[in-house]
Amino acid sequence: MNWHLQDAKNNLSKVVKKAVNEGPQIVTVRGEPTVAVISMDEYRRTHPEDQSVKQDFIEFLLSGPPWDDETEELVNRRSKSPSRKIDF
């Protein structure tokens, strides 16, 4: 969808929601397409080399290969209580 700059400024949250749910939103200045508002997922997909936009740690862990049965068993058998007390 195309947005005039003033409309995009006045409806920024709507522009962002549409970028996430519907795809890139084009902002025009004086009738000329000037910028595109895209979701972070789209940005990461199209710019994998950009290290300034990092996955959070949980996403990183979940994106790895599945554990083998032995590793999963070791993790599940571990003690659920903290191994040391931390005083603040």
How many structural domains are present in the chain? 1
Exposure on the CB side of residue 51, measured as CA atoms within 13 A: 0
Q: Within a domain: residue 12? A: yes
* pLDDT tens digit sequence for 21-69: 999 999 999 999 999 999 999 998 888 877 666 667 777 777 888 889 9
CB 5 within 8 A of CB 28: yes
Q: CA 4 to CA 28: how far, in whole Å?
A: 5
CB 54 within 8 A of CB 64: no
CATH of the domain at 40: 3.40.1620.10
Q: Within a domain: residue 83? A: no
Domain holding 32, by residue range, is 2-77
Q: Within a domain: residue 85? A: no
Higher pLDDT, 20 or 45: 20
* pLDDT tens digit sequence for 63-78: 888 889 998 898 888 8
Residues 11-25 have a mean pLDDT of 97
